[in-house]
Chain A
Amino acid sequence: MKLHEYQAKQLLASYGVPVPEGKIATTPEEAQIIAQEIGGKVVIKAQAHTGARGKAGGVKVAETPAEAFKIAEEMIGMQLVTKQTGSAGLPISAVLVEEAISIERELYLSVAIDGSMAMPVIIASQEGGMDIEEVAEQRPEAILKQYVDPACGFQGYQARALAFGLGLSGKLNRPATALIEALTKSFLETDGSIAEINPVVVTTDGRILAADAKFSIDDSALFRQKNLAELRDRSQEADKELEAQDAGIGNYIKLNGNIGCLVNGAGLAMSTLDAIKMAGGDAANFLDIGTANSPEAVVAALKIIGTDPDVEAVLVNIFGGLARTDIIAQGVIDAKNQGLIPQPTIVRLAGSNVNEGNELLDNSGLDFVRANGFAEAAQLAVSAIS
């Protein structure tokens, strides 16, 4: 689960990470008042779950409170389109109004889990403000890393090594070390999956600040991070994905094609998208129904797919293990009977109770296209459209 920048900064600040003075505004009036309180030049930052906001007009400087009002008025209510959002963009319902800081140096700092090492890793670089993946690829020596041993935790020497490695010595060393320790602690205590400060800024008046912040929480740990779970902003998620979640289908992702897919298992679902692509088509969604073992769950999933205006054909690809194909077949029949999937429907069943499942489809009197393998199913779905 992603946090907004202002939420991430509040979280980091609560752990002692210094952030610029600022507040969140949901109206132009509030933005003006905050700008007045801060005094002088301020930065107005549109709050959306995307990077690359600056180039898309989502970050602007206001010289006066009146200008802060004007910029906030433009931003609040807009759809921010960045290179990461897709053409529809994301709605802006709030802006962060912050002191404008005068930058001497920009650094990079993040914490993530390194799966192959099975440890959190702190990544630091003097090349702040840049795309860190590009830096890692072109100049790996510019990337500093420290792993956190889960048995004994993050140690002081590691924070010092990073701070000195970032060129933060003398008076800056102690605050830099404290910032790195606070960031790491916040990540570990909140079940973070990514915490990134890009850039960490050294100001001309000698402060170190988190000028931007990205923070994601492990979805699987939200059951024990209840306060953070409440920070979720549903307006930043696709309508169809919310509809799926509300129907209890966690693994649904809206895509750009026109073949709606219902599959069990994440790997099979991904491969089904691959097979559709190889057959010359494009999937309208990823949907892993998991071990759903009731016709009702299948009907709910097919409703999400069938009511998607992009969907021109429906492909059901089930390999029963824990999930039973006869139960899935009954759900598909029910959905068809209820008029939820008027599109041509291609069904491929395999695995547990497959004979019973296919018999149900055959005896339903409904118009299903049956496929044997899933490569064939993908081909049939593509030709059903063209």
Chain B
Amino acid sequence: MSLLLDENSKVVIQGFGAAGQREAIICRDYGTNVVAGVTPGKGGQEIEGFPIRNTVQEAVDEFHANVSLIFVPAPFAADAILEANSANVPVIICITENIPVQDMMRVKRVLNNSNSTLIGPNCPGIINIGAHARAGIMPIDVYMDGNVGVISRSGTLVYEAVDQLTKAGIGQSGSIGVGGDPIIGTSQAQALALLENDPNTAAIVLIGEIGGTAEQEAAEYIKTMNKPVVAFIAGATAPPGRRMGHAGAIIAGAAGTAEAKQQALRDAGATVVKNPGEIGSQMLAVLKDQGLA
């Protein structure tokens, strides 16, 4: 399960409100096995054909849920992640944005000693195209079955990159949105390792952003990789000190600039795209160069 999600995934949705229900239906229609929703106090009900339970543990015991997809509002989202962790759900995907940073810091401390993997928060989730498995909020119809994997801090830039790839005739194995917050469960480097080891992925698009040093850590990993990586860094023209929507996207210090990240990625052997409109065409060139397209 290199993309953390496949035919055997049984998804439980925590926070079965409007967004949770809408996405549950889209996931199910796509072919994903959504086994239950969790909303405390509504256990025993059935909504849109999905059984609802009070706790994640019940969903695990009864339906063998092994992926949790979280839509719980920000003030309660850390609690929801920890609940999934305590129920030993191996893959936890948190869509929620605006979770207090100090909440995530404590969550991360707990997850360091856990077998569960957290993706997000503030992310679009994961999709595995070959397996028709979607645990997230991405639009499905822009994807095309193939062997390029996409990793991104930003949600809409996943869609943008996938759209460009599809229009260039390049299909995708899937995508992992790691999230736009300063503290996230799975880093870009860790996501790269998942795709490097995924037999259905031959090349990778990595979309980073200004702020933090995650792209430099990703660059360190790229040095050890066999698969080609095409990278783009969003926010090259953003002014320092301003929060550009994502809490993680604040330039504080020289390492946070787009230039520093582009340089690190280039030095590691990645193909760095400067124009965001050229992600698809650059990947096509790389694939041709490597005899992969």
Chain A residues within CB distance 8 Å of chain B: 84, 113, 115-116, 118-120, 133, 136-137, 149-151, 188, 191, 193, 218-221, 223-224, 251, 253, 255, 263-278, 283, 286, 288, 319-322, 350-352, 373-376, 378
Contacts and interface: CB of A to CB of B under 8 A. Distances in A.
B99 interface: yes
Nearest to B232: A271
Contact of B100 (A84, A221, A321, A373): A221
A118 B137 CA distance: 26
Contacts of A374: 160, 276-277
A322 to B, nearest CB: 5
Contacts of B10: none
B157 A271 contact: yes
B160 to A, nearest CB: 6
Interface stretch (B1-9, B32-40, B234-242): B234-242
B245 A270 contact: yes
B185 to A, nearest CB: 10
Contacts of B138: 321
Nearest to A152: B109
A119 B105 contact: yes
Contact of B278 (A149, A223, A375): A375
B277 A115 contact: no
Contacts of A136: 253
B105 A286 contact: no
Contacts of A277: 236-237
Contacts of B19: 322
Contacts of B244: 251, 253, 266, 269-270, 286
Interface stretch (B80-88, B190-198, B210-218): B210-218
A266 B109 contact: no
Given A116-B217, A119-B109, A351-B159, 14 more contacts: A115-B183, A221-B100, A265-B155, A267-B234, A270-B245, A271-B234, A273-B237, A286-B244, A319-B159, A322-B19, A350-B142, A351-B139, A373-B164, A375-B275
Contact of B239 (A150, A255, A274): A255
Given A118-B104, A133-B253, A350-B142, A224 B124 contact: no
The 7 closest A-B pairs by CB, nearest first: A267-B154, A375-B277, A266-B245, A265-B156, A115-B182, A268-B156, A221-B100
B98 interface: yes
Given A220-B101, A319-B163, A270 B249 contact: yes
Contacts of A373: 164, 277
A271 B276 contact: yes
Contacts of A275: 275-277
B135 interface: no
B247 interface: yes
A220 B210 contact: no
Contacts of B152: 267
10 contacts: A113-B183, A116-B217, A133-B253, A150-B105, A219-B243, A220-B247, A251-B245, A266-B154, A278-B274, A322-B137
B132 interface: no
B246 interface: yes
Interface string B168-212: 000000000000101100000000000000000000000101101
A113 B182 CA distance: 9
A113 B213 contact: no
Interface string B234-278: 111111011111111100011000000000000000000011111
Contacts of B254: 133, 137
Nearest to A278: B275
A223 to B, nearest CB: 6
B277 A376 contact: yes
A191 B99 CA distance: 12
B105 A273 contact: no
B31 interface: no
B277 A191 contact: no
A178 B182 CA distance: 30
Nearest to A263: B156
Contacts of B180: 266-267
A303 B102 CA distance: 36
Given A221-B101, A274-B236, A266 B159 contact: no
Contacts of A191: 100-102
Contacts of B207: 267
A113 B234 contact: no
A80 to B, nearest CB: 17
Given A321-B159, A322-B19, A351-B159, A273 B238 contact: yes
Contacts of A188: 102
Contacts of A119: 105, 109
Contacts of B245: 251, 265-267, 269-270, 286, 288
B53 interface: no
Contacts of B98: 219-220
A274 B100 contact: no
Contacts of A375: 275-278
Nearest to B280: A373
B223 interface: no
Contacts of B278: 375
A48 to B, nearest CB: 15
Contact of A321 (B137, B234, B274, B276): B137
Given A113-B182, A137-B254, A350-B142, A118 B238 contact: no
A120 B235 CA distance: 26
Given A319-B163, A322-B137, A373-B277, A351 B142 contact: yes
A386 B274 CA distance: 24
A1 B262 CA distance: 30
A100 B92 CA distance: 55
Contacts of B108: 118, 150
Contacts of A118: 104-105, 108-109, 183
Contacts of A286: 238, 242, 244-245
B247 to A, nearest CB: 7
A157 B223 CA distance: 39
Contacts of A149: 109
A288 B108 CA distance: 28
A220 B183 contact: no
